[in-house]
Amino acid sequence: MTFSRRTKGALVALCVVAVLVAAALVWLPSIVVRQLTLHYLDQAGMSARIGDVDVNLFTGTVVYEDAQASAAEGEQIAVGRLAITLEYAPLLSKRLVLTRLAIANSAVDIRRTEDNTLRVGGYPILADPNSTQSLNWGIAVKQLALSGIRLHYVQPAQGEQPAIDRELVLNDSSARDVVSWEQTNDVPMQADMSIGEGRIRLSGRITPFGDRIAGHLEVVTHRFALELIGPLATGGGLRELTGLVDSDQRIDFEYDADNALDVTIAGQTTGHGSTLAMDNGTRMRASQLGWQGDIQLQLLRAEGQPSTIASDGKIDAKGFKVANGDSLDFAQNAVHWQGKTQLTLAADATQLTLDGQYQSTGPQLKSGATTIAGEQLTWNGQFSGEFGANASQFGIDGSIDTASPRVSGSSFDVKTPGLNWQGKIDTALGEPMTVTTDGRLKTKPLSIDADSLQASTDALDWQGKLRVAGAGDIDSDGRLRSDRIALSSPDTLNMVFAAVDWQGKIDIDTAANTRVRSDGALDAAAWTFDVPQTALFETDDVSWRGQTDFDIGRLFARSARGRVIGKNATLDLPGQPIALRADRIVYNGAYSERPAGGQLKLNMDGDMVAQNFAVQNTALDAAWLSSRDTELFRLVVDGVDDIAFDSLNAKGVRMLDDTDSSVAVLQAISASARDFRLTDLAHYHVGELDIDEANIHIRRDDGGMGVMALYFGSDEQGSQPSSGGDGASGTASTYRIDHLSLAGPQIVFNDVSVTPNVSLRGSSLVFNVDGLDTGHPERDARFDLALDVGEYGHLDSRGTIAPLAEGGLSMDVDAWMRSLALEPLSGYLNAAMGRRIAKGVADGTLNLAAQGGQLDGNLDTTLSNFRLVDTPNQETEIILGISMDSALALMRGQSDTIQFQTAILGDVTNPYFSIRNLVREAVLAGLRTAVMSDYSPVGLLNKAKNAVLSLGRSLASEPVFFVADQEYIRPDERPYLARIAQQMSRKPRLRLAIQGHATAQDAKAMAPAGEAVITADNEAELRRLAQRRAKSVRDYLAARDAPPAHIELAEPVIDRDPDARPRATLSITGK
């Protein structure tokens, strides 16, 4: 076939055009793409170089090789190979479909500037504020392959967050089926990334488009740097996140822009050098952190809601620390946790809740000036805490066991080897730190060291509520038990309790001085209360109910109000020979020691009851005073220089115990005192002192008054005060008793200083003293005494005495003796004159006066049946060569009686004054007077007259008359009764009946107004007086050897005849 020339030309031209078109389709796209890319980068302010561009329009493939772009700031984008395969879609579909996107051996610089602008390869990624509409284009990538991609991220320091300069390398990472317009499309993916020495491998599926972004990933990390993900959570209040992580996790996440980012993580993680810092000031750090379990995170929550982290698993950490400014610093050497955790990362506070078991080594919590630390801690229970910049607080409910816990502050230190807690603890951190508890606490030996107080316990068991506000305020309400508690304030107070059981409220305030207040009940097996150099109180058992207040300042002031019961209690006064003892003591009232004039002033106001109470003389190891039961009402102490009480009642009283026997100087069934006051520890005053049913034992020896000499000193001249005196104070003691009443069934006096020993026994003692005041020695004290002496004797005495009057003894004393047996007094006559009394009875009167120490007295007595012991070659001349025995024989009358009168003279102020000399001179003077008067001419005539009259006098013809209101035998009646006694002793068949009579004269003597009227009011007393008269006659006769069995006392009679004389009538029968 031949073609025309024109045709051939056309064919050639067509071929050329086809070749040119083909060439344009092959080479021109690559040139156009190159130039467009360079132009775009140039417009963006970046200089670029592209090694090769290959565009295949037929296959839709674009390949960049060895391309670089750099910005003026130095950031670069380097692409080793970028291959894009397009799938042509209808032009108006607004969809870009990439069959394959592959990037290999590339590098990109990513930088966030100080103004928070993100620059990628130097190109700023800015949101256009004027753009409100999307281009509505879709993109799809069916296959994405990344290999050897290096992303270099740089971020400057922002506040406390350090600068970031890291490189992320993507190795062999891929994804498939990425379709932007299919919102529920799952995208399979896998990635292998490395960051420095760290590495991340992940695989799984994600749903990246639409309102809901979700995914499931398997992630394995090795030394992954946490600071790379820190910027992702800045919206959740996270300021800093650093550390390296090794993990093997399964991660499920879902992001909803209107809700939050929910992430669930399951697996295990190990962190190294981890740090988490929040905008609210909370900072957590761990040198090593291991996790195994499940974690649920809610981040980027809408409307500013805080991010939350919940977990259930196990944590092991080392070098763990949580801090929040000065309000919180919590450090631990090692931590193990297993349980559930809930963490809320709010902008103003971080909230943490735990439920599980927690073990810690070396925990230390600091808040302000308070530090809580220990060696080991194990906790099992629930925890809830909130930690913020302004305030932090947490609560614990469960059991805690700690080894060597310690709580310390600026002014205190508390420590123990071990502690167990079961219950709730609520703590508000800050200044001050506040701790509130409700539960049970057990400790091993516990010690507390405060500024002015030291306390220690062997073991402690506490159950109840406790509130601690910093170091300054501690409130408790509950029960505390301990084997031993010791409290000490140096040089001020020491207290020790054994087996303590306390129940009640305690408030401790250490804001200024430590102040401890309590209200409750305390029981202890033993208690020691020691005020150094002042007093030491000890008791075996103590029970307290009431309130106490200790102000532990420089002087340790204290006060209490309530009731205390102690057993086997003792009070020792250092430097003083006195101590108090009691088997049981009860005090109910107030007690305080408060500062006054730079010293503590003691105050007390209350009542006291004691059993087996004793005031001990420690120098003698014997009791000044003891009682079986004692009641003290309204004890008031206003400083140690003013002590008083309203009344005291005691039973089973003993005074001045003998150190060699169980005998005391005075033993009484009961005693009472009223209106007592002691001032200046020297001046004693008692309004009324009554001692009833007293047994008195007095012993005299060569050293003085026996036991009394041990307490009060010798009665010899020049003796010094005993250990019980006031030599230490230098102030002489004074004693004032407004009224003393002493009554008792027995008084015993033994004098072993003479031979034979004198032994006297008395009974029915009645002794009263009014107005005794040694502080005013010139004042006379009034007294009266009534005492049965021996079997039939009786002594009455009354008068006034001023034993310490200036210039010497002053007194005016009258005494009446009745039927006093003389033989027991033989030792005194033997000591004075060398003669002993064999027998005899004395009746009479004694008037003894003294002024300025000068004795001026008179003894008028009748001696009956008086005999001396026959002592050969022992004669005492009385007068005119008449011996004592001859004088006595001359003086005896027919009734065997001797009328004896003698003057009592002497000077007690004379240092040579002697009782023995006084007795000798009185006896000799009396005998001389009797001999001279009885055997003078007048005396002989009187004797003859009396003898004639007595011959005709019947034994029972006359009554025995008495002085009104008295029962003493008058001297005129004594010879008559002596003759009756002689007859009854000689004639055993004689019987005697005696009847006492009381009359109107007695009623007149008794009445204050002197009215001789017998009424129902005085009739009983008159009848008793009549009975005493009959008894007085009976005793007089019996003392003179009349058989008492032959004497009968008739019923007493009240004679209402106004002219009747007081008397006793006698009726004798028999022969």
From residue 639, alpha-carbon distances to 594, 699, 1001 in Å are 10, 38, 56
- pLDDT, one tens digit per residue, over 765-784 is 899 999 999 888 888 999 99
Strand partners, 461: 442, 481
Give the chain's mean pLDDT: 82
Percent of the chain predicted with pLDDT > 70: 83
Both tokens assigned to 732: 């002489």
- CA 354 to CA 380: how far, in whole Å? 10
Both tokens assigned to 975: 């010879």
What pairing do the DSSP bridges indicate for beta strands 1053-1055 and 991-999? parallel
Least confident of 197-206, 265-274, 299-308, 807-816: 299-308
Question: Which among 267, 321, 308 is positioned nearest to 291, based on CA atoms?
Answer: 267
3-state SS class at 360: strand
- Show the beta-strand stretches assigned E in 208-326: 212-225, 238-256, 261-278, 283-299, 307-324
Least confident of 148-152, 418-422, 906-910, 958-962: 906-910
User: Secondary structure of 767-780 in the HEC alphabet?
Assistant: EEEEEEECCCCCCC
| Largest distance between two CA atoms of the chain | 227
Least confident of 141-155, 499-513, 628-642, 808-822: 499-513
What confidence score (pLDDT) does residue 903 get?
82
- pLDDT, one tens digit per residue, over 471-523 is 567 888 999 898 888 888 777 778 898 998 989 998 888 766 778 889 999 99
From residue 42, alpha-carbon distances to 30, 62, 110, 367, 535 in Å are 18, 20, 19, 60, 101
3-state SS class at 919: helix
What confidence score (pLDDT) does residue 938 get?
44
What confidence score (pLDDT) does residue 948 get?
46
DSSP state for residue 704 in the 8-state scheme: B
- Show the beta-strand stretches assigned E in 113-211: 118-120, 123-125, 138-155, 164-170, 173-179, 187-195, 198-207
Q: How many CB atoms lie within 10 A of CB 31?
A: 12
pTM of the model: 0.66
**Domains of the chain: residue spans and CATH:** 1-125+137-189 (no CATH), 803-946 (no CATH), 953-1069 (3.30.1330.60)
To the nearest 10°, the Cα dihedral for 124, 129, 135, 136?
A: 110
- pLDDT, one tens digit per residue, over 350-371 is 888 889 998 999 999 887 778 8
**How does residue 402 score in pLDDT terms, banded at 50, 70 and 90?**
very high
* Sign of the torsion formed by the C-alpha atoms of 37, 42, 45 and 49: positive
Both tokens assigned to 201: 């491998």
Q: Calculate mean pLDDT across residues 671-687.
A: 91
From residue 950, alpha-carbon distances to 271, 392, 993 in Å are 137, 120, 22
**How does residue 951 score in pLDDT terms, banded at 50, 70 and 90?**
very low
3-state SS class at 558: strand
**At how many degrees (to 10) do helices 826-833 and 915-934 cross?**
90
Percent of the chain predicted with pLDDT > 90: 24
Both tokens assigned to 27: 């080479």
Q: What are phi and psi of 1025, to 5 degrees?
A: -65, -45
What confidence score (pLDDT) does residue 727 get?
42
Does residue 201 contact residue 219 with C-beta atoms inside 8 Å?
yes
- CA 70 to CA 51: how far, in whole Å? 15
Q: Which residues make Cβ contacts (< 8 Å) with residue 366, sequence separation at least 6? A: 328, 329, 330, 372
3-state SS class at 404: coil
Both tokens assigned to 103: 């990037």
Containing 388, the helix (H) or strand (E) segment is: strand 376-388
- CA 211 to CA 203: how far, in whole Å? 23
Q: Which residues make Cβ contacts (< 8 Å) with residue 795, sequence separation at least 6? A: 762, 785, 786, 787, 789, 815, 816, 817, 818, 820
